[in-house]
Amino acid sequence: MQIKAIKGKLESQAVDLLIVNLFQGVTKPGGATGAVDKALSKLLTRLIAEEKFTGKLNQTLLVRNQASPLPAKKILLVGLGKKACINTERIRQVTATSLKLAKKINAKTVASILHGAGEGKIKAFDAAYAMATGLQLADYSFTKYQVKKAKLQAKLQLKSFTIVDHNKDKVSAANVAITVSQQSSVGINLGRDLVNEPGLLVTPKYLVNQALKLASASSLISCQVLDEKKLEKLGAGALLAVSRGSVEPAFLIHLTYTPKTKNSKRIALLGKGLTFDTGGYSLKPSSYMSTMKIDMGGAATVLGIFAAITATKPEVEIHGIIPTSENLISGKAIKPGDVVTSLSGKTIEILNTDAEGRLILADALAFISHQKWDAIIDFATLTGACMVALGDQVAGLFSNDDQLQDALLSSAKAEDEKIWPLPLVSAYKKSLESNIADIQNISKGKYAGAITAALFLKEFVPVNTPWAHLDIAGPAYADKDFNPYTSAGGTGFAIRTILHFLKNWK
């Protein structure tokens, strides 16, 4: 689908479908919607009353153009909700809703009003960015394993979606926004694919190949892969312990993006790459295990970010660190009560083999600890407890640095991703004290599981380093459609937020 903005009159576009909008409670359309209505001899005004079109968010009314001089074949009126409530999230949703409807009626060419940029007073750039993102995320489907659905999807593809506005400056801002959105959407949709693919395909080796592919596609990205032999030599005992029960070898992936700018800040992005989590001998019940192919969601976020930065080119040196392994059972698998020596030198008593994410991340943190970082951020589908606290659409954010935390929260807000701060309660650290090792991998208490997991990670964070941990156990995966642009499956969560953060980091 080609997305672009052009200067012109909406009512003169000869397209299969013309999209106009209405705020809730408005009965006489104004602006571009008004101009279209006029060309239709006030048909919209009449239908708004007859069909009880209230303008509620995501409400739609499809009108066939019969005898008017307007060249468009059909007109779609979409509800924007109350004028006072208009924001980029609503624009993204409304655009996604209209794309789905356009596909349903097999429209190939669509022209649309720039939602919210008129009376809604949203900046043209922001409105177009939200529209373009809504389009590309709603256009995503994972039908690789569904022959009939895949064929249908291919048939229903749009050729073009054109945003039309009479203001030249708004149009040029919109075109810049569309490009930015296209660059990040590529990364988000890669992240979704990686989570959606089953564990049969997505093994640690598969993630390695993905990273190598990203590096070979860009001169700014290089990739170093540590195999089990190297990991053993290094002493990555925690990662290797988790991997023991699997025939698939573990790896530690190290991607480096070097910007053209000199003396830039350095950041490390760590992603949990657990390609399947059975829980190990602390076995998960079947109903909890069935979705555990998603346990590499953190790695998918990091790879998605790397796929996008080849185009967005942030002026930051970015390292992507992915410890990757399966967590299975065999005669060689670790057992509850085992003690291992991690890469940091700290010994860990593994009392629960299902708390494996923190183990592989502990080694990843130790791996980068000899270098100086301006920030470290890790992404992990780490705890069910975080979902108990925040539900399945909100990620928990933990940080030892207020400035980093605030910057991440403000990027999340700008991108309408739901992230909520949780505290690193130092008093709870006691619950990780082991009787026979330096630390144990689960808390003695039964509460605050997301916090104690974060406190465990904190023990391995290099000293004096701003660090943030995002527990994405909930939002990495949607078990049903979250909204019109986030369909069931992998979500690519946090990619938009981090790309925004990297662009604006001071």
Residues in contact with ligand BES by the rule CB under 6 A = 277, 279, 295, 352, 354-357, 381-385, 442, 449, 473
> Which does residue 473 touch among Zn ion, ligand BES, none (CB within 5 to 8 A, set by kind)?
ligand BES
Look at residue 278 and give its three-state secondary structure.
coil
Ramachandran class of 20: left when φ > 0, alpha when ψ lies in -120 to 50, beta otherwise = beta
Sequence-distant (≥ 6) Cβ neighbours of residue 19 within 8 angstroms = 75, 76, 78, 98, 102, 110, 111, 112, 113
Which CA distances in Å does 245 have to 279, 280, 295, 343, 355? 11, 8, 17, 19, 15
Quote the least distance from Cβ 294 to Zn ion, whole Å.
9
For Zn ion, give the closer residue by CB, 373 or 460.
Answer: 460
Nearest to 491 by CA among 251, 231, 222, 192: 192
Taking the least distance from each CB to ligand BES, the nearer of 299 and 385 is 385
What single letter denotes the amino acid at residue 313? K
Annotated catalytic residue within 90, 103, 192, 358: 358
Q: Which single residue brings its beta carbon nearest to ligand BES?
A: 384
Give dist(CA 422, CA 405) in Å, integer: 10
Q: Which does 383 bind (CB under 5 to 8 A by kind): Zn ion, ligand BES, none?
A: ligand BES
Q: How far is the CB of 247 from ligand BES (least distance, A)?
A: 20
Beta-strand pair 477-478/489-490: antiparallel
Q: 268, 144 in Cβ contact below 8 A?
A: no
Query: In sequence order, which residues have a C-beta less than 8 Å from that of residue 168 and are 6 or more positions away?
Result: 7
Q: How far is the CB of 282 from ligand BES (least distance, A)?
A: 6
The entry of Zn ion, ligand BES, none that residue 376 binds, CB within 5 to 8 Å by partner kind: none
Q: How far is the CB of 353 from ligand BES (least distance, A)?
A: 8
Q: CA-to-CA distance for 304 and 214, rounded, in angstroms?
A: 10
Of 121, 208, 176, residue with least CA distance to 5: 176
Among Zn ion, ligand BES, none, partner that 475 touches (CB below 5 to 8 angstroms by kind): none
Report the 10 Å Cβ neighbour count for 474: 24
Rank residues 177 and 387 by Cβ distance to ligand BES and give the closer one: 387
| Rounded least distance, CB 384 to ligand BES, Å | 3
Pairing of strands 439-440, 338-341: unpaired
**Active site (annotated) includes residue 458:** no
Q: Return the one option of Zn ion, ligand BES, none that residue 114 interacts with (CB less than 5 to 8 A, by type).
A: none
- Least distance (Å) between residue 386 CB and Zn ion: 12
Q: Which is nearer to ligand BES, 354 or 363 (CB)?
A: 354
Q: From the candidates 73, 123, 266, 284, which is the catalytic residue? A: 284
Q: If contact means CB under 5 to 8 A according to the sort of partner, which of ligand BES, Zn ion, none does residue 449 touch?
A: ligand BES
287-346 residues in contact with Zn ion (CB under 5 A) are 295
**Token pair of 428 as six digits:** 């709870």
Q: Exactly one of 357, 466, 489, 492 binds Zn ion (CB under 5 A); which one?
A: 357
Q: Name residue, tokens 């990364």.
A: 187
Query: Three-class SS of residue 51?
Result: coil
Q: How far is the CB of 231 from ligand BES (least distance, A)?
A: 20
Q: Is 284 a catalytic residue?
A: yes
How big is the site for Zn ion, counted in residues (CB under 5 A)?
A: 6
Of the candidate residues 16, 37, 354, 417, the single one contacting Zn ion (CB under 5 A):
354
Segment holding 17, helix H or strand E? strand 17-22
Report 224-283 residues binding Zn ion (CB under 5 A): 274, 277
- Name which of ligand BES, Zn ion, none residue 442 binds, using a CB cut-off of 5 to 8 Å depending on partner kind: ligand BES
Catalytic residue numbers read: 284, 358
Residues that bind Zn ion (CB under 5 A): 274, 277, 295, 354, 356-357
